[in-house]
């Protein structure tokens, strides 16, 4: 289906700011933390069951501690917090990587990035990458199409663009099961892009919402359930905000950015309600990885967790996980069950009576029994047949992370314990402050910092440390990973000895494809005028990033030369086969 540009003007939305304390209850039990005034949504009226609409909101670089409902003391209450109050909030929810492309590939397929080749020295897909998410991998969209869904995509993709030319679009969403593709950000929002040619940051959120709501209405008119995947542009740098949100948060520019992103979520959910589909829509909110704490106060917050984007401490991979489905997932539940974004695919297939591929290992697991635990009536047993029963019965859940540019495991979570075979130097916001010229007034970034961002062992020893035996932490009393356990003590060694054979068996299950994120060719890079890569900036260098409020110059700085002028591409301008 050809992408449609919907130009309807969005109605002005006044956001009520409601501040609450988030005191979490016992694991898996209804919490004591409050929400906005009023009661949670009630149970739906009786009627025949039909497949639910499904929406996945995937934020960009948003930290575990960035929302009021996850404990941030000054971020205003908003629509994402409403989702948590009206649904289930996971406190141990994980992405499969600490960087965009591998994390998104895992969410889409339910499989570890390394299994599908989404690894390599590029660490993510770039504008001139000649590979992308392989066509032979089955995505959530393709699985849902098999059971009658109409599928739509808006927002950030970052799973590949072209293979042979600047315009072939080989790896864009149309080729991965999406019937409709609206406004598309193929890679990432970038600081140096010209605001006037070819697009404006300040209209992007409106475009996303217009396209998303238009797609949902079209699906309803077709009489089909819909699947919408919305990859938000926020909170990846640059911290742009529409005029209506600029200066609206006491938290500053980053808070403005969070509020605008949350508004898009609320606008889409409000449309669901206007369509009369609220009780028949499962909405999921998460983030691709942790916050980019290396850009001073322009990055997010991991709360009490250590680290952030680009590393594998908890702050890099533990992310928000919110599931809302009125009448099906009981409101106001907080759970500390360990879960992964890779679980979304098999869980959805159980809910819609679909099936995951049976010719490959699926690393995600069905968590429907957790989601529906609090329903008043017993639920049917899961029907999905998965090949990776890594924790049958009551055995601890095991999650394994790999450095994006190597094939050896870097970190393992096993039950409540975390094992680090390799650690990266933890960069903190205080470290930013202590390095002259890094941050300006109030924590405004003056230069980009990628120090100690890689994790392979060929990095400088001050950045990467190997551990044998691995560093071991108990995350229940020590989620900050501040106090390693003495693995020579019998009770700690017993856990390590229990985990290692399982990890070795897991490693034996891996058949690792070639690294798809390594090969690049400038001939496939899209650009404003076809002169890639020379069009990295289509204006003159004007010095450091300007301070907040200097909007006139915000699009004319090349201080952040990390991407290219056409990171944002509307598919109406692409030639698709």
Tell me: the pLDDT tens digits for 70-82? 999 999 999 999 9
Query: What residues have CB less than 8 Å from 552, skipping those under 6 apart?
Result: none
Backbone angles phi, psi at 424, to 5 degrees: -105, 150
Chain-centroid distance of CA 151 in Å reads: 19
Give the per-residue pLDDT at 513: 95
Place of tokens 């403005």: 256
83: buried, middle or exposed (CB in 10 Å: 19+, 13-18, 0-12)? buried
Query: What residues have CB less than 8 Å from 500, skipping those under 6 apart?
Result: none
Identify the three-state secondary structure at position 564: coil
Beta strands 339-340 and 398-402: pairing type?
unpaired
Quickly state the pLDDT bin for 556 (edges 50, 70, 90): very low
Give the per-residue pLDDT at 210: 96
Catalytic-role residue among 69, 100, 193, 403 = 100
Give the Cα separation of 259 and 360 in Å (integer). Answer: 40
Structure tokens that stand for 347 in this block: 């869980």
Give the per-residue pLDDT at 530: 53
* H or E stretch covering 409: strand 409-414
Higher pLDDT, 386 or 348: 348
Please tell me the least confidently modeled range out of 103-117, 179-193, 206-220, 271-285.
179-193
Average pLDDT over residues 545-558: 37
Check if the beta carbon of residue 163 is closer than 8 Å to that of residue 520. no
Give the per-residue pLDDT at 237: 83
DSSP conformation class of 148? T
Structure tokens that stand for 351 in this block: 């809910």
Instruction: Provide the 10 A C-beta neighbour count for residue 437.
Output: 8
Give the sign of the dihedral formed by CA 85, CA 87, CA 91, CA 93.
negative
Whether 256 has a pLDDT exceeding 50, the answer reads: yes
Structure confidence by residue, pLDDT tens digits, 60-109: 999 999 999 999 999 999 999 999 999 999 999 999 999 999 999 999 99
Identify the three-state secondary structure at position 84: helix
Give the per-residue pLDDT at 375: 62
Give the per-residue pLDDT at 187: 83
Average pLDDT, the chain: 81
Query: What residues have CB less than 8 Å from 223, skipping those under 6 apart?
Result: none
Out of 6-20, 231-245, 356-370, 450-464, give the one with best mean pLDDT. 356-370
Give the per-residue pLDDT at 428: 79
Catalytic-role residue among 158, 176, 417, 420 = 158
Structure tokens that stand for 155 in this block: 């927002």
Whether 479 has a pLDDT exceeding 70, the answer reads: yes
Whole-number percent of the chain with pLDDT over 90: 61
Quickly state the pLDDT bin for 29 (edges 50, 70, 90): very low
Give the per-residue pLDDT at 240: 79
Distances from the Cα of 299 to the Cα of 63, 250, 263, 435, angstroms: 9, 15, 19, 17
Beta strands 281-287 and 150-156: pairing type?
unpaired
Identify the three-state secondary structure at position 410: strand
Any bridge partners for residue 207, and if so which? Answer: none
Whether 43 has a pLDDT exceeding 90, the answer reads: no
Please tell me the least confidently modeled range out of 60-64, 98-102, 186-190, 483-487.
186-190
Identify the three-state secondary structure at position 200: coil
Give the Cα separation of 473 and 27 in Å (integer). Answer: 20
Out of 183-187, 203-207, 504-508, give the one with best mean pLDDT. 504-508
Average pLDDT over residues 101-121: 96
Distances from the Cα of 366 to the Cα of 139, 244, 384, 386, 392, angstroms: 16, 41, 7, 9, 12
Q: How many residues does the chain have?
A: 577
Closest CA to 132 of 187, 79, 71: 187
Any bridge partners for residue 130, and if so which? Answer: none
Higher pLDDT, 117 or 42: 117
Whether 25 has a pLDDT exceeding 90, the answer reads: no
Whether 116 has a pLDDT exceeding 80, the answer reads: yes
Closest CA to 155 of 127, 199, 189, 129: 189
Whether 398 has a pLDDT exceeding 90, the answer reads: yes
Q: What share of the chain is helix, strand, coil (3-state, %, to 5)?
A: 25, 15, 60
Q: Is 158 a catalytic residue?
A: yes
Give the Cα separation of 372 and 356 in Å (integer). Answer: 20
Whether 258 has a pLDDT exceeding 80, the answer reads: yes
Query: What residues have CB less than 8 Å from 551, skipping those under 6 apart?
Result: none
Q: Is 236 a catalytic residue?
A: no
Closest CA to 205 of 231, 174, 228, 225: 231
């Amino acid at each position: 289906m050809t992408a449609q540009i919907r130009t309807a003007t969005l109605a002005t939305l006044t956001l009520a700011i409601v501040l609450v304390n988030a005191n979490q209850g016992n694991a898996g039990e209804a919490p004591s933390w409050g929400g906005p005034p009023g009661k949670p949504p009630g149970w739906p009226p009786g009627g025949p069951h039909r497949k639910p609409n499904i929406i996945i909101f995937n934020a960009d670089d948003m930290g575990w501690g960035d929302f009021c409902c996850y404990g941030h003391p000054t971020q205003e209450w908003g629509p994402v917090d409403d989702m948590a109050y009206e649904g289930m909030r996971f406190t141990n929810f994980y992405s499969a990587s600490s960087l965009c492309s591998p994390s998104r590939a895992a969410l889409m397929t339910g499989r570890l990035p390394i299994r599908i080749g989404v690894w390599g020295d590029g660490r993510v897909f770039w504008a001139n990458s000649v590979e992308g998410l392989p066509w032979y991998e089955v995505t959530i969209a393709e699985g849902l199409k098999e059971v009658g869904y109409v599928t739509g995509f808006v927002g950030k993709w970052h799973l590949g663009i072209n293979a042979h030319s600047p315009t072939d679009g080989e790896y864009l969403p149309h080729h991965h099961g999406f019937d409709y593709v609206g406004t598309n950000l193929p890679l990432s929002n970038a600081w140096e892009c010209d605001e006037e040619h070819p697009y404006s940051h300040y209209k992007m959120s409106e475009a996303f919402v217009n396209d998303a709501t238009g797609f949902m209405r079209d699906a309803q008119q077709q009489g089909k359930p819909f699947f919408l995947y919305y990859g938000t542009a926020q909170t990846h740098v640059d911290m742009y905000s529409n005029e209506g949100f600029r200066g609206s948060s006491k938290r500053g520019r980053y808070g403005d950015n969070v509020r605008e992103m949350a508004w898009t979520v609320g606008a889409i959910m409000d449309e669901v309600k206007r369509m009369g589909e609220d009780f028949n829509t499962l909405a999921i909110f998460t983030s691709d990885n942790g916050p980019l704490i290396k850009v001073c106060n322009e990055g997010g917050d991991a709360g009490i967790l250590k680290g952030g984007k680009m590393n594998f401490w908890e702050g890099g991979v533990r992310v928000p996980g919110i599931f809302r489905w009125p009448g099906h997932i009981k409101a106001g539940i907080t759970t500390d069950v360990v879960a992964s974004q890779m679980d979304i695919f098999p869980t959805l297939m159980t809910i819609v009576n679909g099936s995951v591929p049976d010719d490959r290992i699926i690393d995600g697991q069905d968590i429907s029994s957790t989601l529906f635990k609090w329903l008043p009536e017993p639920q049917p047993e899961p029907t999905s047949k998965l090949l990776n029963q890594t924790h049958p019965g009551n055995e601890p859940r095991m999650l394994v992370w790999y450095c994006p540019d190597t094939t050896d495991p870097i970190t393992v979570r096993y039950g409540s314990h975390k094992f680090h075979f390799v650690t990266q130097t933890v960069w903190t916001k205080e470290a930013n402050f202590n390095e002259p010229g890094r941050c300006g007034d109030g924590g405004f970034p003056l230069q980009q910092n990628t120090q100690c961002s890689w994790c392979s062992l060929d990095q400088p020893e001050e950045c990467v440390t190997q551990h044998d035996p691995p560093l071991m932490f108990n995350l229940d009393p020590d989620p900050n990973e501040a106090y390693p356990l003495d693995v020579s003590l019998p009770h700690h060694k017993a856990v390590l000895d229990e985990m290692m054979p399982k990890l070795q068996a897991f490693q034996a299950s891996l058949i690792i494809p070639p690294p798809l994120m390594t090969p690049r060719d400038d001939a496939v890079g899209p650009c404003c005028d076809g002169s890639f890569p020379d069009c990295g900036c289509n204006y003159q260098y004007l010095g450091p990033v300007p301070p907040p409020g200097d909007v006139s110059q915000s699009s004319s700085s090349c201080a952040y030369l990390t991407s290219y002028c056409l990171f944002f591409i509307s598919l109406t301008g692409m030639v698709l086969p």
